[in-house]
Structure 1
C-alpha cells in the first residue's frame, strides 16, 4: 500500500507534459516531471506502473521516486520540480560583535599551561566569558578562516632592528657590485652527525616508499665548511673532523688560493669565537698569517643580519640535496659533498641576489640613523 499518492489536475498534467516535451529545462526538472506523470493516479497508470517499473524506465532509484511523490504531496508541484526548496533560516551564532571578540581573543596570549590557542580552547573560553551559551568548534573555525587567522600556527622570522649604524655599515659592505678584483665571499659551517643503520632499509616498491628502521647507531660527528660567492655561482666546501681555530684558518687559506687574482676578498661570516685574525697567527707563522690577513676584509654579520650571509642558503641546499640521509663515515661525507659541489658548479647555480645598496637606502630607510644637517 502506497503512503503517498500522486493525483494531478488537468492544469498540472499539462504543465508537466510541456516540461517533459521540451528540451529547454534542466535534466533534474525533466526527470521529476516524468516521475510525477507516471505516478499520476488520475491518469489510470497506478496499477500498470509500479514504483520499481518507473524507476527502471527512467534509470533512477526507487527511493528517488518515493521521495518525489512525498515531496509533491507535502510541498506541492512548484517545490517538487525545482532542485532547491525553501531555504531554512538559522539563527546566527556569531554576529559582528562576537566575531570581533573572538578575533581579539585569538590574537591574545593563550591560557597558562597552553602553548597556543586551539579551536576547542577558544570555544571553551567564549563560554567561560559568558559571551555565548554554546557554539561548535566548526563555527569558530569558519569565522577564523574568513578572517585569514590561524592562532595555532607560528613561523620564524627575522624581526628587523631599529635604526642601527652597525647593522647598516655591515649591510652596505656586503651589497657591492660584482668585481673580480674584490669578490664578496660568504662563509659558514655546519656540524653533521655520522649515523649508521642498525638494520638494512627496505627498498621502495610500487605503491610503497623506502622504509628505514627508527633505530640507528651514532658514529661521531664532522663539520662542513662552505664558502659561496652568490652572484658568480661559485662555491668551495671542505669536510673536517672538527671546527677548531686551526680548521677555520686552513679553510681561509683554501679560499685565498681559490681567488689567486683577487686583490682583496670581502669575507662575510658570523661572529664565532674561531673567526678571528688571531686564529691565523695560531695556525701559521707570523709572516704567513699577516700575508693571508692582508688579502681579506672580514665582515661579521650583525644581529638580525644573518640574511646577509648567503652561505647559509648554500648549506641548506647541500643538506637537502646531499646530506639528508644516514651516513656513517666522514670519508663518505667528503666524497658525497665533493660530488654535489661539482654538479652544482657545473649547473652554475646562483643565488637570486638582486638587492643593492641603492635599494637598501630606499626600502630599509627606517634602519638608517638620522643625521643632523
Structure 2
C-alpha cells in the first residue's frame, strides 16, 4: 500500500514566530513543544520519517499533527476571529470550537472538555478578550519620552536637581455613595464577605489627587465635580506647601482632560505658580501617568465594595486612607523605560507595515 505524501505546510511570519516561541520556550508544556517543532520542521519540507527520527516520536504522531496543522487545526482555528471563518459568533467557546472542528472534518466527534484540554496545552483562551487603544498621537514618542525621563529624574536630557519635584495628577470621577439596603456581612469561616445587591443612591463626588512620584506623597481633595476651578484648587493645595512652594521647578504630569488641556492650561498654571511646569501625557495614554496606579489602589482598597451611608462617609474614608498611605508608602517601581518605549513603537510599526502590505495585496473588485 503506497505511503501517503507528506502534507505541505506554509507559514506566515507571525505563525513562524509564534511556533518558535512555543517550540523553544522554557515554560512550554512538552506536548505543545513537540507539536510546534513538528510544524516548523514540516514547513521546511522535511519528511515525516525524518521529523519522527529527529524528535524521537512515532511517525504516525508526526503525520497526525502535520495534517491537523495543514487543515487549519484547533490552534489555527482558535487564533482566528469567528467572523473571519464566516461563523456568526463574537468569540469562540469550547463547545463551538468542538462543533466547528467536526464540521470541517479536522477531527471526528470531539467533546468540549477535550478541546478545553488541548487549548490549555497551547495556553489559548479564545473566549476571553481585552480592550486596548492604538496609538494615534503623532507626537507620542516625544511626549512619552518626556514623561519617562521625569520618572528617571531627567528633563530634556539634564538631571533634575535636589530642589526639583515631579507630581503626577488627575481626577477620579463619580465616586458614588451606595447605601446597601441590608448591612454588609463580615466574612466568616468558608464564607466570603456578603454585600447586598440592592442599594440607595447617596450622590457622587470627584476625587482629585496629586502624587509626588519620587517621595510617594499624596495630596487629595474631594469636589462636587471636576473642572478648571477644582483642579487649580488642588494645584494651590500642593504648591503652597513646602518643599514645593520654594522649589526651583515642580513638574505636573497630567493627561489631556478638559481641566488641564492644551496651552491655555499651561499658561494658567505658569501664571499662578511660575515654578510649576505642566507636562502632558500623549493622547489616550493615561497609562503613562503614575497617578492612575494610585487610583487603582483606591478603587481596590477604599471604594470596592461600595457601601457608604452618604458622601460625608466617602470623604472621611478617602482622607483617612491618604493619611494611612502617606505613612508607609514607597515610590512605585516604574520599569517602563525609554528603551521599552522604542521596542513598543518598533513592534507597532512592524504590525502596521504588515497590515498595509496585506491591504495592498488584496485585489480590487472590477
1:1-16 aligned at under 5 Å gives the runs: none
Give yes or no for the alignment of 1:252 onto 2:235: yes
Secondary structure of the corresponding residue to residue 283 of structure 2: coil
The one of 75, 78, 82 aligned to 1:103: 75
Q: Does 1:347 align with 2:311?
A: no
Matched residue pairs, number? Answer: 271
Is 2:190 the partner of 1:210?
no
Instruction: Select 2:142's aligned residue among 165, 169, 186.
Output: 169
* 1:28-107 pair list within 5 angstroms: 95-99=65-69, 100-107=72-79
Q: 1:318 to 1:125 in 2, by over 3 A?
A: same
Please, which runs of 5 or more residues in structure 2 have no aligned partner? 1-59, 154-159, 350-366
SS of residue paired to 1:274: helix
Tell me if 1:272 matches 2:257.
yes
Q: Is the 8 A contact 2:93 2:127 kept in 1?
A: yes
CA distance 1:365–1:319, shift in 2 (3 Å) = closer
Deviation at 1:360, TM superposition (A): 5.2
Contact residue 239 and residue 333 of structure 1 kept, 8 A: no
Q: C-alpha separation between the residues in 1 aligned to 2:290 and 2:112?
A: 44
Equivalent residue of 1:266, what SS? strand
Secondary structure at the counterpart of residue 154 of structure 1: coil
In structure 2, the partner of 1:144 is: 119
Alignment of 1:182 onto 2:167: no
272-281 or 304-313, larger mean C-alpha shift: 272-281
Q: Which residue of 1 aligns with 2:128?
A: 153
> Does the C-alpha gap of structure 1 residues 365 and 194 become closer, same or farther in structure 2, counting only changes over 3 Å?
closer
**Structure 1 partner of 2:364:** none
Assess, with a 3 A threshold, how the Cα gap between structure 1 residues 196 and 115 changes in structure 2: closer, same or farther. same
- Contact persistence 1:165–1:368 (CA under 8 A): no
The answer on whether the counterparts of 1:188 and 1:225 sit within 8 Å (CA) in structure 2 is yes
Q: After superposition, where does 1:271-310 map in structure 2 within 5 Å?
A: 271-276=256-261, 278=264, 291-310=271-290
Matched, 1:122 2:103: no
User: Does the residue aligned with 2:201 lie in a helix, a strand or coil?
Assistant: strand
Cα shift at 1:268: 1.1
SS of the residue aligned with 1:294?
Answer: coil
Q: Aligned runs of 1:185-200 on 2, under 5 Å?
A: 185-191=167-173, 192-200=175-183
2:296 paired with 1:321: no
Relative to structure 1, the CA distance from residue 218 to residue 93 in structure 2 (aligned partners, 3 Å threshold; closer, same or farther) is farther
Whole-Å Cα distance in 2 between the matches of residues 264 and 339 of structure 1? 29
- Displacement after TM superposition at 1:261 (Å): 2.1
- Separation in 2, partners of 1:333, 1:140: 48
Measure the CA separation in 2 of the matches of 1:335 and 1:193: 14
Residues 213-252 of structure 1: CA distance to partner in whole angstroms, max 9, x if unpaired?
2110011110001111222211111111111221112112
Question: Partners of 1:96 and 1:352 in 2: how far apart?
Answer: 45
* Alignment CA distance shift 1:98-1:360 (3 Å): closer
CA displacement 1:276-328 (0-9 Å, x = unmatched):
475799xxxx9xx7642533222221135322200000011112112213123
Q: Distance in 2 between matches of 1:367 and 1:151?
A: 23
Partner of 1:337: 318
Q: Do the aligned partners of 2:260 and 2:266 also contact (CA within 8 Å) in 1? A: no
Structure 1 or 2, whichever has the larger Rg, is 1
- Tell whether the 8 Å contact from 2:256 to 2:283 is kept in structure 1 after alignment: no
Identify which range, 360-369 or 101-110, moves more after superposition.
360-369
**Per the alignment, in what secondary structure is the counterpart of residue 169 of structure 2?**
strand
RMSD between superposed Cα atoms in Å: 3.3
Between 347-356 and 332-341, the greater mean CA deviation after superposition: 347-356
